[in-house]
Amino acid sequence: MPTAVITGASAGVGLAAARALASDGWRVIAVGRNAQRCAEAEADLRAAAPCADITMLRGDLSLMTDAARLADEIAALTDRIDLLANNAGGMISEPRVTSEGLEESFAGNHLGPFVLTTRLLPLLLAASQPRVINTSSDGSEMIPGLNWDNLQDPLANSPGAAYCSGKLANVIFAAELARRFGGQGLLAYSFHPGTVASNFFSHVPDTTRAHTDALEKITPEKGAETLLWLNSQPAEVLENGGYYYCRAPRVPNPIAHDPANGERLWALSEKLVASSRA
């Protein structure tokens, strides 16, 4: 039985993907942040797939201690991971710093997933053809790049820019995972799910909501289609490290696939995590 770890699985795209995989016979280790939504999601998954092996864990990936704890809890549950879907993320309404001293948006969208993924690498590499799939956004395409001098202050410290920076980091991180570990069989991808009708928009700034309220939105199930497709396609028909949308390759931000940027992001991520005030 293959094993999937899916973050942000208490609602939206993550829950839709978890439901589909559980119904298809996968063991699902689902991660959510909100206690009530986690309970509701677990009930949903058990109703959809009564015979499936489902575990729901709670944790806040904007906190590095929680990301590390989740990795330890997952390692206690399984000896291999076939799919890690780094789906958790979102936009916050105003700039905030976590209790560990990290900018909350970049921490939740990139640094927490970075910690979780790197700590789970031994379990991923124990699988026959492991995949890491990062849920990004077309927001990754809307900024010129990252503030390499200070990732804690992404482009004037606006919530929108912070979100876009984290989503661009998701794309760069997937490409760098493919470069570093593709030779050991790891497959890594990022994708834009589309504009999904979910609780994502309940946390965005008013100016963002004024814009997004007018956008046509798709269902979480539709948003999860590319994630599930990337998980099911033969490796040879996909670009390891690639960026996708609507089950097809998509041109990423011009800086995304530069190996120098991948190395730089990895090193700076390690430095930020190490310096966090846990």
Q: Among this protein's residues, is 163 annotated catalytic?
A: yes
Which entry of 163, 189, 243, 244 is annotated as an active-site residue?
163
Question: Which residue carries 């699902």 as its tokens?
Answer: 28
Residues that are catalytic: 163
